[in-house]
Amino acid sequence: MDFSSKLLENAVNEMSQLPGIGKRTALRLVLHLLKQPAQQTENLATAIQQMRELVNFCSNCHNISDTALCEICASQNRNAKIVCVVEDIRDVMAIEATSQYRGHYHVLGGKISPMDGIGPHDLTINSLIQKIEEGKIEELIFALSSTMEGDTTNFYIFKQIEGFNIITTTIARGISVGDELEYADEVTLGRSIVNRIPFENSLKNS
Ligand SMILES: [Zn+2]
């Protein structure tokens, strides 16, 4: 792309760093911003900058939170002994939207993926194991997407906690294999949490 303006080119280059945004889309977005009042661009820039600078993670579940302890972990109405293992905040939002779950979460921050150079130590698995060692958890619900990486991660954690006396379950899959949690409809996802099955059963099926 040949730009008549270095300023425009820089903006397009930065914008096209985002996932799913090619140079053409970036150019369209940048031109759109140019047509809007300057205040709108300023609001966007400020929101992104503040989010980046001030973002905080819950010290207990590692979900993104504006407070040291997120609302879910701080709530008296949630059962801290039941912990649902998820990949990121999108899964928490999807499960919360079902209104069917009253336990806590543990946000791993990703999935084990040797191809992408992501190992167990890049995730918050140690902190989860620690909570289990401290006897804080009675039931662990695996709710990672049923991709190869999700299965590998579930199995890794399952092996790590084998010696502990806790119940391990997985959400019943009304959702087809490979579907990400965030795309499952609320009713199906809600039902699959309520009707969760022993984790070991899911191993036999695969
Ligand atoms: Zn939390």
In a domain, 59, yes or no: no
First to last CA, the chain: 48
Residue 159 structural domain: 69-205
- Whole-model pTM: value is 0.83
d(CA 202, CA 82): 19
CA of 104 to the centre of ligand 1 (A): 7
The answer to whether residues 181 and 79 belong to one domain is yes
In a domain, 130, yes or no: yes
For the chain, the domain total comes to: 2
Radius of gyration of the chain, Cα coordinates, nearest whole angstrom: 21
CA of 11 to the centre of ligand 1 (A): 36
The answer to whether residues 105 and 191 belong to one domain is yes
The answer to whether residues 44 and 76 belong to one domain is no
The answer to whether residues 45 and 74 belong to one domain is no
The answer to whether residues 112 and 183 belong to one domain is yes
- Give me the tens of pLDDT residue by residue for the chain, a chain 206 residues long: 888 999 999 999 999 999 999 999 999 999 999 999 999 999 999 999 999 999 999 999 999 999 999 999 999 999 999 999 999 999 999 999 999 999 999 999 999 999 999 999 999 999 999 999 999 999 999 998 878 899 999 999 999 999 999 999 998 765 544 556 666 678 888 888 888 888 888 876 55
CA of 55 to the centre of ligand 1 (A): 14
Q: Yes or no: say if 181 and 86 are a contact pair by the CB < 8 Å rule.
A: yes
CATH number at residue 154: 3.40.1360.10
In a domain, 38, yes or no: yes
Domain closes at, from 30, 54, 78: 54
CA of 105 to the centre of ligand 1 (A): 7
The answer to whether residues 19 and 103 belong to one domain is no
Secondary structure (DSSP) of 110-178: S--BGGGTB-GGGTTHHHHHHHHHTT--SEEEE---SSHHHHHHHHHHHHHTTTS--EEEE----SPTT
The answer to whether residues 73 and 38 belong to one domain is no
